[in-house]
Amino acid sequence: MQDTIFALSSGAPPAGIAVIRISGPGAGAALEALVGDLPEQRLASLRTLRDRDGHALDEALVLWFPAPKTVTGENVAELHCHGGRAVVAAVMAELATLADLREAEAGEFTRRAFANGRIDLAEAEGLGDLLAAETEWQRRGAMSAAGGGLSRRIEEWRTQLLGLSAQVEAAIDFSDEDDVEVLPTDFVDELSTLRAEIDNVLSRPSADRLRDGVRVVFAGPPNAGKSSLFNALLDEGAAIVSPVAGTTRDVIERPVAIGGVPFVFIDTAGLRQEGAGDIEAIGIDRAQRELEKADIVLWLGPPADCPAGAIQIAPKADLDDAGNEGHAVSAVTGSGLDDLVRVLVDRAKDLLPPPDRIAFNRRQKGLATTCGEHLAGASRVSDTLVIAEELRLARVALDSMSGRNSTEDMLDALFGRFCIGK
């Protein structure tokens, strides 16, 4: 029999309320052990929680949800206790003494929901992103996946594919008689419409970029003012600033939300060929690698050396001898910073999937690409047996997207990034 699991599903105590969730075949018995009987299902009831000796642990709102229409698909009980540390500890300790009950692992509730078909993989991934969301754009992006928007679309595509396969199977059966394989004329149209739809979503930026933030690298020669600008934009003294060329060696990363858009600002060592010591040289190597991974580069060096696609900055605008090509900014007076931020936000929005539209993450993009290749394969040939096989393979890719055929490793990786109690 499946273990019954429990965990604190709300934030760390102390808090106003602590929600302890119990899921599994023994959830009802556990609730009964604490409150004396099973309260009416799906209704909040105020009860005294007691230990096995009858001592009161807390007054709590308790809820009883019998399987299968529950968040995990199993029997579920919820205890809405007072959120004090000692209260939570006492109730959790009492639960741990009950037979067949144990504390849940990270993501275990969600994993059970997936195993019981309450959510599919795309929804579980969206839920993971939603829980991790720190900015408005992240929240909106994750909402649609967590709410099943992407899953429904995948299901529609799957249904269309099944329809196409059925047409091919019919043509194969028909061709047995006189060796002529006839596919309905609109078969080709339907196939290309499906391909176009998947390609359209594929063309959108990846949902991972939204989750991880847009990487903005501050680059240029030593002493250009990179760290000063980095600090000024972050409004904190994260990076050391000094008149000594080669002050910054290591890469310094700071996540920051601006206008609801998630960024990661990255300060780097000044780039120079000569005169760098051993440690600075390592820093320069790291800076080069960051430049390769950057989504946006702020270039604080001579325009002639500005990397392709980078935003040219004219730093130290308060000084008389400041350059005047590019976005003039001063870390000292703050001039030009607001404009620069606007430019950054505009650029970032082009790099992120539009909120409220469905988008693939990296894993889904790989599968959608495979799916698209098989659809293309199906439209290239006239042999119906080959077409049927290509359509089948396209469907296998879609099924991996929704997790109809997922491996344990993949599930471990996905649910491992959830928190305990989710």
Ligand X SMILES: Nc1nc2c(ncn2[C@@H]2O[C@H](COP(=O)(O)OP(=O)(O)OP(=O)(O)O)[C@@H](O)[C@H]2O)c(=O)[nH]1
Query: Is 268 annotated as contributing to ligand binding?
Result: yes
C-alpha torsion sign, points 160, 355, 218, 321:
positive
CA distance 69 to 71: 7
Q: Any contact of residue 223 with Mg ion (CB under 5 A)?
A: no
Query: Is 83 annotated as contributing to ligand binding?
Result: no
Binding range to ligand X, per CB under 6 A, among 22-30, 108-116, 176-184, 326-334: 326-334
Q: Any contact of residue 364 with K ion (CB under 5 A)?
A: no
What one-character DSSP code corresponds to residue 326?
Answer: S
CA distance 156 to 151: 9
Helical pair 121-132 and 408-416, crossing angle rounded to 10 deg:
20
- Residue whose pair of structure tokens reads 């000692």 in the numeric block: 86
Q: Any contact of residue 231 with K ion (CB under 5 A)?
A: no
Question: H/E element holding 20?
Answer: strand 17-23
Query: Is 422 annotated as contributing to ligand binding?
Result: yes
Q: Which residues pair with 59 in a beta bridge?
A: 48
CB of 199: closest distance to ligand X in angstroms? 43
Q: Which residues contact 282 (CB under 8 A, 6 or more apart)?
A: 249
CB of 332: closest distance to ligand X in angstroms? 4
Binding range to ligand X, per CB under 6 A, among 24-32, 97-105, 187-195, 236-244: 236-244
- Residue whose pair of structure tokens reads 């469905």 in the numeric block: 358
Nearer to Mg ion (CB atom), residue 248 or residue 364: 248
Q: Strands 311-314, 327-328: parallel, antiparallel or unpaired by DSSP?
A: parallel
Query: Is 247 annotated as contributing to ligand binding?
Result: yes
- Residue whose pair of structure tokens reads 């199906």 in the numeric block: 378
Query: Is 226 annotated as contributing to ligand binding?
Result: yes
Q: Any contact of residue 231 with Mg ion (CB under 5 A)?
A: no
Q: Any contact of residue 331 with ligand X (CB under 6 A)?
A: yes
Contact 220, 245 (CB under 8 A): no
Question: H/E element holding 139?
Answer: helix 136-146
Nearer to Mg ion (CB atom), residue 256 or residue 269: 269
Using a 10 angstrom Cβ sphere, with 0-12 exposed, 13-18 middle and 19 or more buried, the burial of residue 132 is middle
Binding range to K ion, per CB under 5 A, among 3-11, 93-101, 241-249, 412-420: 241-249
Q: Any contact of residue 298 with ligand X (CB under 6 A)?
A: no
CB of 259: closest distance to ligand X in angstroms? 23
Q: Any contact of residue 318 with ligand X (CB under 6 A)?
A: yes
Binding range to K ion, per CB under 5 A, among 111-119, 216-224, 256-264, 391-399: 216-224
Nearer to Mg ion (CB atom), residue 63 or residue 239: 239
Nearer to ligand X (CB atom), residue 128 or residue 315: 315
Query: Is 110 annotated as contributing to ligand binding?
Result: no
- Residue whose pair of structure tokens reads 């004090």 in the numeric block: 84
CA distance 254 to 238: 8
Q: Any contact of residue 93 with ligand X (CB under 6 A)?
A: no
- Rounded alpha-carbon distances, angstroms, from residue 217 to 148, 288, 290, 291, 295: 35, 10, 7, 7, 8
Contact 209, 347 (CB under 8 A): no
Q: Any contact of residue 224 with ligand X (CB under 6 A)?
A: yes
Binding range to ligand X, per CB under 6 A, among 80-88, 111-119, 146-154, 238-246: 238-246
228 binds, among K ion, ligand X, Mg ion, none (CB under 5 to 8 A by kind): ligand X
Q: Out of 248, 364, 384, 402, point to the residue binding Mg ion (CB under 5 A).
A: 248
Q: Any contact of residue 223 with K ion (CB under 5 A)?
A: yes
Question: H/E element holding 300?
Answer: none
Annotated binding site for K(+): 223, 242, 244, 247
Annotated binding site for GTP: 223-228, 242-248, 267-270
Q: List contacts with K ion (CB under 5 A).
A: 223, 247
Annotated binding site for Mg(2+): 227, 248
